[in-house]
Homo-oligomer: A and B are copies of this chain.
Amino acid sequence: MLTPENKQSEIMQRRSDYQPPRSLSHWLIGRPLSTADAPHQTIGKRVGLAVFASDALSSSAYAIDEILLVLILAGAGALSLSLPIAVTIIILLTILTISYQQTIHTYPGGGGAYIVARDNLGEIPALIAGASLLVDYILTVAVSISSGVAQITSAFPALYQFRVAIAVGLVAIMMVVNLRGIKESGQAFAIPTYFFLGMTLFTIGVGLVRSLTGTLGVVPPGSVEVAHAGETIHALTLFLILRAFAGGCTALTGVEAISNGITAFKEPRTRNAGVTLTWMSVILGVNLLGLTFLADQAGVLPSHLETGFSQIGRVIYGSGSPLYLTMLGSTTLILIMAANTSFADFPRLAALVAGDAFLPRQLQFRGSRLAYSNGIIALAGIASILIVVFRAQTNSLIPLYAIGVYLSFTLSQSGMVIHWLRSGRLRPGESYQNHGQPLYFDPKWKIKMFLNGLGAVATAIVTLVFSFTKFMEGAWIVLLLIPFLVSLFMVIHRHYKTLANSLSLEKFSGLPARQPRHRVILPISGIHQGTLEALRYAKLLSDDVTAIHISMDPAEVEKVQKKWKVWGEGTRLVLLDSPFRLFVEPLLEYIEDIIDQRQPNETITVVVPQFIPSKRWHNAMHMRTAGILRQELLSKHGVIVTDVPYHVHETEME
């Protein structure tokens, strides 16, 4: 134990044996985990696929529609273009996958667009990437939960009036489960993801067999209300094809998820993350190609009322059959699960950005279950606000958030191009540190740079197509929001930086010499045991104590004077008459006078007797001027404020 006699310089290291008590949060999110448990809170490939692929998989459920809805503008004949477009998208997916494999292995500590852009392109591109992704994750939660709920309410119309409550409730459940940590939330949410995955692959398999055996059948004509039917047919321009391609590219949102979440994986991290990325891309590719092929074969027609996926299901299983309904159910589940990828990535990315002091530091805080609690809560809160504001009808936001993702793709891959360029400039065996990341010569740098460059160009085109074609539909919101967020990041950064600089000890020569004079001011509202306690403490601090009584009532002044003569221990007392019956203001003015006259570095302490009621509601019966006084003194005047508490104990209250 510490002995007070031991006065020499001494640094002791102790481990706190504080155990968080069982509480409500304990029951809700599980027993607190020690920091040492962190390695056990990582996930393997199977759970990782469920957590990080659900966003990407959910987009494959509506990607065909995005393509077909554009092509139909050029007439039904143009629909057959969907297959070559899907193949192109799969080529893009392949490029992206290879590129992100390279990124994951180059940045094992988390290699999202933010990090890659920061290390290779500089601060502004990094912040743009970070802002895009953070906005994207928030929109994903709001949109995917809302569309999931829309599916539920179209099956059970009676629930329609409760849709906002249901959606917010689902966000809350997802938040709580994620506060339990990535491991538990991953395990809990793996089932619906694998259920959708199994169901989709089974549907594609059955469809392909039927197609090969010639028993697939066709969507019954007239059973679908075709979009844009009866409108004038546009020419099949390159622009239209590009739009259809861009629409299909929404299927690839979510491919970046793993690169942002590498730290969630078990060791060997990079290997596990890389393998999971490959699995995900293969599944995504199979889904995309399979569904587009089947849609072509079965004559799926684009409609605003029924998805292509549902039409394929009807052809294969028959409308209303149990398997068809199961397929629709699994789609609802995956739409909701897509939000879970955001819950895994948003807090990690926010913590990274906060670690570079571009977001409030609280986002770096890991809660009792080692999850980034503040980030999870912030995500759930902002998404819930969006859901409430848009009354859970956020479907129109779907096209918007792809812009942010493709912008971050472009930045990330451009960053990688610079990386390989730098790598190529080195001699074999040579290496240096680039932002704390080792940079080696890579003999294959040219081919790698080419691949990343190809990806950069391709995604840049998609970004531009998105921005132009969707500008009026709301893309302008994203294009305004991102610069706003970037400026916000920079304001926050400046605050932390100036703070750190002005508190820094690096060029600090020590505080100015201390004056021995210590002046103590003791405001009192009356003379009682609490006041005497404070007076005794004030006299312990210094011999130079001035008590001040603000008087509003001449009758009280006399009482105070008389009592002070008995109990004041000869301390100077100033009776300050307050003609306007104010307490804080005259006192502050008096103290300001004293501050104005103080000698350099003279210390002034204001000792405030603070009444602590035994029950919190008792505060309603007291003026609480002590709190206001402290606030004012600390913030405006920089004097030191000491609270001397006096209690009236429960037992005396009986």
Contacts and interface: CB of A to CB of B under 8 A. Distances in A.
A302 B307 CA distance: 70
B648 A502 contact: yes
Contacts of A572: 2, 6-7, 9-12
B536 A514 contact: yes
Interface in A468-506: 492, 494-496, 498-505
B529 A502 contact: yes
A12 B653 contact: no
A574 interface: yes
Contacts of A527: 505
Contact of A574 (B2, B35, B568): B2
Interface in A1-21: 1-2, 4, 6-18, 20
Interface stretch (A130-138, A201-209, A278-286, A576-584): A576-584
A228 interface: no
A16 B576 contact: yes
Interface in A496-545: 496, 498-505, 508, 510-511, 514, 517-519, 527-530, 532-533, 536-537, 540-541, 543-544
Given A16-B589, A20-B582, A634 B638 contact: no
Interface string A28-65: 00001111100000000000000000000000000000
Contact of A495 (B541, B612, B618, B644): B618
A368 interface: yes
A642 interface: yes
A370 B603 CA distance: 38
A579 to B, nearest CB: 4
B612 A635 contact: yes
A620 interface: yes
B579 A623 contact: no
A577 B648 contact: no
A231 interface: no
Given A13-B557, A568-B9, A643-B641, A504 B529 contact: yes
Contacts of A329: none
A621 B495 contact: yes
Contact of A634 (B571, B597, B612): B612
B35 A581 contact: yes
A360 interface: yes
A200 interface: no
Interface stretch (A148-156, A331-339, A396-404, A559-567): A559-567
A239 interface: no
Contacts of A514: 536, 540
A570 to B, nearest CB: 4
Nearest to A554: B35
A590 interface: yes
Contact of A640 (B7, B570, B585, B645): B645
A266 interface: no
A496 to B, nearest CB: 7
B603 A540 contact: yes
Given A529-B508, A575-B13, A585-B18, A634 B640 contact: no
A271 interface: no
Each complex incorporates copies of this chain amounting to 2
A94 interface: no
Contacts of A107: none
Interface residues of A, number: 116
A575 B15 CA distance: 8
Contact of A578 (B16, B501, B508, B581): B16
B590 A653 contact: no
B511 A533 contact: yes
A494 B652 CA distance: 11
Contacts of A582: 18, 20
A15 B581 contact: no
A552 interface: yes
Contacts of A494: 653
A381 interface: no
A386 to B, nearest CB: 20
A573 B582 CA distance: 44
A1 B582 CA distance: 22
Contact of A652 (B498, B580, B638, B641): B498
A610 interface: yes
A354 to B, nearest CB: 10
A80 interface: no
A571 to B, nearest CB: 7
A441 interface: no
Contact of A577 (B14, B644, B653): B14
A445 interface: no
Contacts of A511: 529, 532-533, 536
Given A575-B13, A634-B612, A648-B498, A360 B18 contact: no
A646 interface: yes
A319 interface: no
A365 B581 CA distance: 8
A404 B620 CA distance: 27
A546 interface: yes
Given A14-B574, A18-B589, 4 more contacts: A4-B544, A20-B585, A505-B529, A514-B536
25 contacts: A2-B572, A4-B517, A7-B570, A9-B570, A9-B572, A11-B572, A13-B557, A13-B575, A14-B577, A15-B576, A16-B579, A362-B621, A362-B623, A366-B581, A492-B621, A496-B621, A502-B529, A503-B529, A505-B532, A505-B567, A511-B536, A537-B640, A630-B643, A642-B642, A642-B643
Nearest 10 interchain pairs by C-beta? A16-B586, A503-B528, A9-B570, A34-B579, A15-B577, A642-B642, A18-B586, A13-B575, A360-B621, A634-B645
